[in-house]
Structure 1
Amino acid sequence: MAAILAFAGSNSSTSINFKLVKLTTALVQNHDIQTLDMAEHPFPVFSEDLEKEEGYSASLKELKEQINSASGLILSVNEHNGNPSAYFKNVLDWLSRMDRKFLEGTKVLLMSTSGGKRGGKGSLTVVENMLPRFGAEIVAIFSLPSFYDKFSEEGILDETLKNEHQNALNTFLDALKQ
């Protein structure tokens, strides 16, 4: 049984990426899963001055501990103008200042969704290229386009996408066994 941390890269209380994370974690059995709602985790905008003056917040240290305690990470990133949200980039900035390799040895299921037809692929690509710099091993990727047409409280409505999602999750779970 592996420890898995799951969250979305969004601090919105209505995050569709967090809804995708919750669906994904509901499909996982026989693992210890901790799900974080990042809307409950505010962080100040990173600056070197603030880092020197105040150091690292207790909530940032706690997040780093949660990441370090997990064997795997289920992460769904939102997209703002083709890039990850400023909030998520800010979280990465803070974490990487604490420890450049804060994701060392962590296997990642990287996902994204959006209301558009590209499913947040711009953000997904940026984050896919960024996380390995911090030590992450991205083992599976999934993008859900047209969220409002292809998702309901029961799950992913499009059978092809539903199968792609399950395959990505299975690949991730299999990688945790290794």
Structure 2
Amino acid sequence: MKILAFGTSNSKHSINKKLAFYAAQQINNADVSLIDINDFEMPIYSEDKEKESGIPQLAHDFYNAIGEANTIIISFAEYNGSYTSAYKNLFDWTSRIDMKVFQNKAVIMLSTSPGPGGAQSVLATAQASAPYFAANLVGALSLPSFFDNFDSKQGVVTHNTFKQDLLSIISKLS
């Protein structure tokens, strides 16, 4: 099984990227590709830029990476209750290739934040919009208070309920 995992923050120390990678590692016999959305930085989307220059190659590359995977694991960072601008821009450009960005792939949506909210607002938004973008949503889960529930040195979740809930979602993939 080919897994594409990423966090939606462009921080070099993204806790959401760490969480997405952890989740992907819980899938037995998986070929995991962990991407960094910094590698897909493009001009801010506008109709004018699209008409002038077309859709950037990086948007095509991101779309193709999704297409090559069996399962997508996304961990959403939350900026002011919504998507990060880096992810939203990447998503907007990619949706111009095909509104079915997720190409009917199995998708696990996660979120985390340093605080007790665990980025639940953006996760709820992503879940609600998933069907419009051809995401076969397998499950969604928020990890609150990242630094209290994740051991960064070992790269593992220490929150037992979250671990069990994540494994339950993963079991739906087979």
What's the TM-score bracket when you normalise by the shorter of the two chains? over 0.9
Q: Cα distance, 1:14 vs. partner? A: 1.1
Provide the C-alpha distance between the structure 1 equivalents of 2:129 and 2:148, rounded to a whole number of angstroms.
30
Q: Percent identity?
A: 34
Which runs of 5 or more residues in structure 1 are unaligned? none
Q: Is residue 11–residue 40 contact of structure 1 (8 Å, CA) maintained in 2?
A: no
Q: Cα distance, 1:81 vs. partner? A: 1.1
Provide the C-alpha distance between the structure 1 equivalents of 2:83 and 2:159, rounded to a whole number of angstroms.
25
Q: Which residue of 2 aligns with 1:6?
A: 5
Listed one character per residue, the Cα deviations across residues 11-56 of structure 1 (whole Å, up to 9, x for unaligned) are 1111100010121122222122211011232121100111111112
Listed one character per residue, the Cα deviations across residues 129-167 of structure 1 (whole Å, up to 9, x for unaligned) are 122211111111111000011111331112222212222
Q: Cα distance, 1:102 vs. partner? A: 2.4
Q: Is residue 74–residue 108 contact of structure 2 (8 Å, CA) maintained in 1?
A: yes
Provide the C-alpha distance between the structure 2 equivalents of 1:132 and 1:91, rounded to a whole number of angstroms.
18
Point out the more displaced range, 158-167 or 74-83.
158-167
Q: Look up the SS of the partner of 1:98 in the other structure.
A: coil
Which runs of 5 or more residues in structure 2 are unaligned? none
The two structures have a TM-score, normalised by structure 1, of 0.90
Point out the more displaced range, 28-37 or 70-79.
28-37
The two structures have a TM-score, normalised by structure 2, of 0.92
Q: Which residue of 1 aligns with 2:35?
A: 36
What RMSD, in angstroms, separates the aligned Cα atoms of the two structures? 1.4
Q: Which residue of 2 aligns with 1:115?
A: 114
Q: Is residue 104–residue 135 contact of structure 1 (8 Å, CA) maintained in 2?
A: yes
Provide the C-alpha distance between the structure 1 equivalents of 2:103 and 2:63, rounded to a whole number of angstroms.
12
Report the residue type matching 2:5 in the other structure.
Answer: A
Q: Which residue of 2 aligns with 1:139?
A: 138
Provide the C-alpha distance between the structure 1 equivalents of 2:7 and 2:121, rounded to a whole number of angstroms.
16
Q: Cα distance, 1:64 vs. partner? A: 0.8
Q: Which residue of 1 aligns with 2:21?
A: 22
Provide the C-alpha distance between the structure 2 equivalents of 1:165 and 1:103, rounded to a whole number of angstroms.
21
